[in-house]
A and B are shown apart, each in its own frame.
Chain A
């Protein structure tokens, strides 16, 4: 191709101040001028008036191409119009005159004494206008899926017509792919409907043909672009495009296949043999049949049944277990509405406890003071020395040798021994326990422990510990007793 190494001509790439660009913009201004001038005449608001206008410029156009006799003046056009078109309300002579004047004003045609002549601008603008109208007409002649596909094909053709000659037609490939995507989306949405519609086969075929054509076109387009420098930019589009087209063709092909199988089946003979293995294979396939296969899935099968080809088939879809909710009384409804309207969530009340210390005034005797002080000292000691184990043990045995208490209450370990000994000292010091010499037989009867430490003197540890009772009154007597022993 001769255009291979130059980029496409496009108004967006051209230098802003280039005279050609300004001229081309002026063309557009003429076009809009003509349209707005005509638009300002109220009669021109209706579609049929626009058609009449287009007919008139078509006649001028034809003359310019040499297809018709020269046009002398507005009257010639007026008569020619009446002659050619069967219009119940042809434009009046005045109307034709008006149109001619507008066209002359914007340089589309030149008015000479004996002839109306088309100018170059006019030729191109008229072409554009008529093409625009024809395009729209063709677009609207399709249904919604067809429209997207038509637009896609049109894009492909335009791309061919312009890009190949070095003139940019806009992002035609991208637009084409988008249109195909839209069409496929629509097709998917309407697939079940189409299968259910007995007359959908011709429509399906049209869609399929379009898809196939498009696939060819797109591949061809891509092949040409692959030589261009900007093919890199296109590689994304290419991938997207081929994927979309493949999906679309498969989808349409699958729909046609299913449809054809369904319709041809109606013409087969009634048979009575059923091959179970085929049934099995079919069920397995219908779980997730590939797009282009002739196997319908369960929903598509139901769509076919909608056609009601066998009598009652449409009504005979599935049986579904049902439960009717028991009717609600008006009272119950009112109650629940009331509940919903007046519902207040129950939030737990937050108690804020004031942690202010309370001071209590207490008076005690001077004699008792020593005792109270002793108690508090004991509590302090207790908080520092772990006496619980000893206390609990003594609670149980009442009387035992020191060594026995130390080991039985905790363990034979060195650390526990230290702990126990301090605890015993504290307990004795606070008059919770009493110490006494053990009698000879008591010493002999005490068990021998396998311990990890030794007393300094052999006799140590043989002394007896005895529990003192807690109350002050009873305390007096055993205290004396212990003192005697000492």
Chain B
């Protein structure tokens, strides 16, 4: 079996074989637990494991560098298919899977994606803490009827997959904040195409990633 795989390295899943070299046995188990970290219900916030749980399973102490080392190594090994992210604010270690363009069309509505992109731009590029519901309405809702309802419906889609959550403020205004899931959802290629369309110009991928402040996330050999 192994022989065949090495001979014809056309099967990209072959890279999974290298997991063993990058992770210890315990770490492998934890990675799998993160993938399985669910009951059958899908609710916002019900993704992944807490950091404490991961640390417990890895048998390492709190605030240990080894926690981040583990995440980094998993990501290096499986980056073509999965990535593991740690949402510090919500204390979740979540696995995300890469979905090809064709399939991605059916994951979220086009409106949801536009809203997410808008918030992503505001919060990642402009570094706002949150996006007000009013801002979304002002940007998107001016031409359509039932704008309010449509907006809430699409926001709910995003909330359900844990891409955003309501931002707690004292003011009566409704505000939303992206979660780590939300900031990681757009693939580099998608961002590049978006910006290219907006500029009507071809762009260098690095420039786009820099624009979205993703340069520190971009690792060599990770995204090609």
Contacts and interface: CB of A to CB of B under 8 A. Distances in A.
Contact of B189 (A196, A268, A316, A321): A316
Contacts of B48: 321, 323
A231 B105 CA distance: 46
A318 B201 contact: no
A271 interface: yes
Contact of B224 (A262, A274, A300, A312): A312
Interface of A: 192, 196, 261-262, 265-266, 268-272, 274-276, 278-284, 286-288, 295-306, 310-326
Contact of B114 (A196, A265, A297, A310): A297
Given A272-B204, A274-B207, A305 B101 contact: yes
A349 B95 CA distance: 50
Interface stretch (B13-21, B56-64, B165-173, B180-188): B180-188
B83 interface: yes
Given A302-B104, A318-B186, A269 B202 contact: yes
A326 B117 contact: no
Interface in B40-58: 40, 42, 47-48
Contacts of A322: 35, 95-97
A298 B101 contact: no
Contacts of A281: 198
A280 B190 contact: no
B99 interface: yes
A299 B97 CA distance: 19
A287 B196 contact: no
B132 interface: no
Nearest to B163: A321
B161 interface: yes
B89 interface: no
Contacts of A298: 108, 110, 113-114, 117
B68 interface: no
A321 B181 contact: yes
B114 A317 contact: no
Contacts of B140: 284, 287-288
B149 to A, nearest CB: 14
Contact of A270 (B38, B105, B187, B203): B203
B162 A301 contact: no
Contact of B105 (A192, A287, A319): A192
A311 B205 CA distance: 12
B181 A317 contact: no
